[in-house]
């Protein structure tokens, strides 16, 4: 089972078990990770699941698709490492993935 580590803007870390096929958003909300509201339930329509992918993991996770990139335009603090957590599907190769939640979502 891949393990995902969530880090908040203050550096507090929490590692949780995930299942391949789940989204990062689903893993976060089912584990009460703060800073990921996911208001639209994963429909790529709210941007309240905006997260930063740790630099080392950017290649594995990949870039946002067109719709996701459009939604990211309404998010705050967007960087090259930004993704919408509901659009990132976890695979076994993401074991150890590190995700940071933006300060603006707290
Ligand atoms: Fe709404 Fe991800 S949960 S865009």
pLDDT at 80: 97
Residue 100 Cα to ligand 1 middle (Å): 16
Q: 29-38, pLDDT tens digit by residue?
A: 999 999 999 9
User: What mean pLDDT comes out for the span 14-30?
Assistant: 97
pLDDT of residue 83: 98
Tell me the CA–centroid distance for residue 77 and ligand 1, in Å. 16
Confidence (pLDDT) at 66: 97
pLDDT tens digits for range 73-95:
999 999 999 999 999 999 999 99
Helix (H) or strand (E) holding 82: strand 82-84
State the SS3 of 10-29: CCCEEEEECCCCCEHHHHHH
Token pair recorded at residue 66: 């067109």
State residue 87's pLDDT score.
98
The arithmetic mean of pLDDT across residues 64-71, rounded, is 97
CB half-sphere exposure, 80, CA atoms < 13 A: 5
The alpha carbon of 104 and the centre of ligand 1 are apart by a number of angstroms equal to 15
Mapped onto helix, strand or coil, the DSSP state of residue 60 is: helix
Average pLDDT over residues 59-77: 97
What percent of the chain is modeled with pLDDT above 90?
A: 99
For ligand 1, atom 4, name the residue with the nearest CA.
44
List, in order of start, the domains of the chain with CATH numbers. Answer: 3-105 (3.10.20.30)
Pocket test for ligand 1, best of 28, 33, 43, 82 (most atoms within 8 A of CB): 43
**pLDDT in the model for residue 74:** 94
């Amino acid at each position: 089972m891949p393990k995902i580590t969530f880090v908040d803007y203050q550096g507090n870390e929490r590692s949780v078990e995930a299942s391949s096929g789940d989204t990062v958003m689903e893993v976060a909300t089912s584990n009460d990770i703060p800073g990921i509201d996911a208001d639209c339930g994963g429909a790529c329509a709210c941007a309240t699941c905006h997260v930063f992918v740790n630099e080392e993991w950017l290649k594995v996770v990949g870039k946002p698709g067109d719709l996701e990139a459009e939604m990211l335009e309404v998010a705050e603090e967007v960087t090259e490492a930004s993704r919408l957590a509901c659009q990132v599907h976890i695979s076994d190769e993401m074991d150890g993935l590190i995700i940071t939640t933006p300060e603006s979502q707290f």
